[in-house]
């Protein structure tokens, strides 16, 4: 039997089992049809982030941000560039800490922008402060290797 990865759909929070050999074929959610490996970061809510951070086997990089935060807004285009650099290696998600203050409490976020990498149901790395896309991508690759 082919090896599979569990990937939570960032649009509907449904867990999907994807054969490893299909990851490069842009798989879609079996429930809602959304791309499981989107080309751009996806804004998520707290319940979706909880599920993805505890079940996903593919690395998930999360940007904890807020609309009033200047460095967060400046980081947004770099985060999108990082999504392109990490295509197929990791998924990128964003959570608005102003709309979901529970997220900051749950993951002990002290300053934003903050970046957390989750893999296989646990946090594997954390970084605070705005960074260029290439530096962020290199950090993720090192964290999951």
What is the set of active-site residues? 69, 72
User: Among 106, 100, 128, which residue's Cα sits nearest to residue 115?
Assistant: 128
Please give the C-alpha separations between residue 42 and each of 1, 81, 144, in angstroms, as whole numbers. Answer: 31, 13, 20
Give the distance from CA 144 to its chain's centroid: 13
Q: What are phi and psi of 24, to 5 degrees?
A: -80, -5
Q: What element of type H or E holds 1?
A: none
State how far the alpha carbon of 4 is from the alpha carbons of 16, 23, 112, in Å.
10, 9, 34
d(CA 139, CA 117) in angstroms, rounded, equals: 10
Residues 39 and 144: their CA atoms lie apart, in Å, by: 20
């Amino acid at each position: 039997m082919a090896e599979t990865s569990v990937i939570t759909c960032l649009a509907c929070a449904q867990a999907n089992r994807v054969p490893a050999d299909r990851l490069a074929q842009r798989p879609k959610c079996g429930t809602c049809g959304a791309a499981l490996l989107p080309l751009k970061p996806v804004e998520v809510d707290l319940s979706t982030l909880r599920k993805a951070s505890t079940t996903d086997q593919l690395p998930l990089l999360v940007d904890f941000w807020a609309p009033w935060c200047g460095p967060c807004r400046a980081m947004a285009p770099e985060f999108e560039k990082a999504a392109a650099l990490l295509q197929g290696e990791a998924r990128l998600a964003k959570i608005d800490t102003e709309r979901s203050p529970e997220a900051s409490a749950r993951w002990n976020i002290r300053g934003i922008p903050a970046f957390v990498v989750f893999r296989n149901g646990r946090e594997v790395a954390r970084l605070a402060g705005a960074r260029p896309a290439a530096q962020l991508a290199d950090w993720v690759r090192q964290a999951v290797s």
